[in-house]
Amino acid sequence: MNFRQSISGLIGVMILVFLLAGCGSQSDATEAAEKEEKVVGIIGPMEVEIDILHSHMEVEETTEKGNLTFYEGNLEGQPIVLVKSGIGKVNAASAAQMLISDFGADVLINSGVAGGIHPDLGLGDIVISTKTVHHDMDETAKDFKPGQIPYMDTRYFEADQKLIQLAKKGTKGLPDYVDVFKGPIATGDQFIASEEKANWIYETFDAYVVEMEGAAVGQVAYLNKIPYVVIRSASDDAGEEAAGIQENFVEEAAKNSSHVIEEMLKRM
């Protein structure tokens, strides 16, 4: 190889390196843009269920819409919109749809407390939804299964696998007494305070916890074809004394579910 050939070879290599470096930074930029574009809509039913997240987030804009207040901003470096929906399925569904349609949420997370109905579950334990179901949807008189919304092609609303994995990672750092479970969550417009009813829901739906919003959020996510997950911490056992137990334990349980949400956002 003469001098001229080796110089042109060197220039060729340099151009290749330059182009490859360019491609790398372009794909980094694309990844960063994709990351930034994701807006996470977070719904908590009660003040105590959004309080911690609200106090830790950097609020950029507060918007009153209908009777709800939406907080847009950042938490753990992730763009989020946080809202307190109020209790029950219609409140949750309405807030979820607003998050998507009016605030550009690409992902929905429902965070809060629940009544533990699985025998292995203790107070404060975390349940990550694999799927959600309406335990009070009942057209069994027409031979539909309990929870089946007639003529909908699913009985359970499947949670997103990536969000489930993120949530699992997000349980790091919880207090030692907290156990973590993954499983179905059952939702209805009823505060369950009956061992008999709790057992029926557990046996009928294989559910770990019962609450009043998750499947509504799941259904809205399903209808809008966007990913969702529900994270709940057990504030009571859904038995006869549930109301009193919840009063004493709701703050601790809300702290646990908020912890998981923040740790998830860190990893998004």
Write out the residues near ligand ADE by the rule CB under 6 A. Answer: 113-115, 191-192, 210-212, 235-236, 238, 242, 246
- Give residues with Cβ within 8 angstroms of 212, minimum separation 6: 45, 87, 88, 89, 92, 187, 188, 189, 190, 191
Distance CA 258, CA 229 (A): 14
Distance CA 13, CA 61 (A): 50
Is 170 within 8 Å of 264 (Cβ atoms)?
A: yes
Q: Which residue is nearest to ligand ADE (CB)?
A: 115
The residue (of 115 and 227) whose beta carbon lies closer to ligand ADE is 115
CB of 114 to ligand ADE, least distance (A): 5
The residue (of 110 and 235) whose beta carbon lies closer to ligand ADE is 235
Tokens describing residue 179: 């156990």
CB of 73 to ligand ADE, least distance (A): 27
The residue (of 96 and 242) whose beta carbon lies closer to ligand ADE is 242
Distance CA 122, CA 233 (A): 9
CB of 210 to ligand ADE, least distance (A): 5
Is 115 within 8 Å of 192 (Cβ atoms)?
A: yes
CB of 198 to ligand ADE, least distance (A): 8
Helix-strand-coil split of the chain, %, nearest 5: 45, 25, 30
The residue (of 78 and 246) whose beta carbon lies closer to ligand ADE is 246
The catalytic residues are 49, 236
